[in-house]
Amino acid sequence: MSPSTLSSAFLAVAAISRIALVNAQPDPADPTPLVDKHYAYPSGIPYQVDYNTAAIRGPQVGYNICNSTTENQNSMCQTSFVNHIDDFCLWAPPQPNSTIGDTEGQEVAWCTKPGHGTRIIPSEALQGVQLIKTPNYIQIVGFIDQTLVNINADDYGGELDPHGADLRGNPLGGLMYSNAFPSNGGNNDTYQQVIDWTNFMGGSAFCLKICDPAGQNQQGLCQNIYDRLGCAYNAPNN
């Protein structure tokens, strides 16, 4: 493909993505966007963030209050954490052999270590992980045996984010927290809610980027409109 053709293709995809963002409309039954639902951790979190049965996509499939009683490989916890290279969670399906496209609204949290009330990523699943930490965002990327987190081996996946066509997020009701932002002052016992984040899963790889809510340009650094361009564009890494 020539450079001019490639450039045209890129611009076309970017235009489509912007149109999709502009056309995103709140569900009348649940008009408050997920990014506007803020909860202090852990005391302020409700059992379910998105519980409205009248909403077009229905309520979320899991729950947000997660603890030792919910921590097992059948957990339906939808509260995720990103703290460090050895302490982070990914969004992945609750049922084996699933595709991200078919289950994006239903994903649950899979974490690298116990203590979050979630499913645990099997130790042999992660096959290389890189951490990039900047003043305004934290990025974790890597290779993964995705079948061990219930993703079909041939699925090239897609993006999970707190927006979606109805602004209710994918997964529905999915919350994200971190104790690692510079604005947290190094206090590992205090978690901040991550408002803007993105997680691509599929093709035996993943990338996860979370933006500091007190940082600069969080919406620009954690874009959710280039979902067709994958990790290489949204989370450059080596």
Q: What is the pLDDT of residues 93-133, one digit of tens each?
A: 999 999 999 999 999 999 999 999 999 999 999 999 999 99
pLDDT of residue 228: 82
Cα–Cα distance, 110 to 126 (Å, whole number): 12
Closest listed residue to residue 139, CA positions, set 195, 83, 208, 191:
208
Query: What percent of the chain clears pLDDT 90, i.e. is strictly above it?
Result: 76
Instruction: Enumerate the β-bridge partners of residue 205.
Output: 143, 202
Cα–Cα distance, 105 to 102 (Å, whole number): 8
Cα–Cα distance, 156 to 235 (Å, whole number): 16
DSSP annotation of 72 reads: S
Q: Is the pLDDT assigned to residue 38 strictly greater than 90?
A: yes
Cα–Cα distance, 180 to 105 (Å, whole number): 27
CA angle 199, 42, 88 (to 5 degrees): 30
Beta carbons within 10 angstroms of residue 90's beta carbon: 30
Q: Mean pLDDT score of the chain, rounded to an integer?
A: 90
Pair type for strands 192-193 and 175-178: antiparallel
- Average pLDDT for residues 71-76, to the nearest whole number? 99
- Average pLDDT for residues 16-27, to the nearest whole number? 61
First-residue to last-residue Cα distance in the chain = 24
For residue 17, name the pLDDT band (cuts at 50, 70, 90): very low
Q: Is the pLDDT assigned to residue 75 strictly greater than 70?
A: yes
pLDDT of residue 22: 53
pLDDT of residue 217: 83
Phi, psi of 105 (to 5 degrees): -80, -5
More confident residue, 222 or 132: 132
- Average pLDDT for residues 33-54, to the nearest whole number? 97
User: pTM for the complete prediction?
Assistant: 0.89
Strand order across the beta sheet in which 108-111 lies: 119-120, 108-111, 87-92, 79-84, 175-178, 192-193
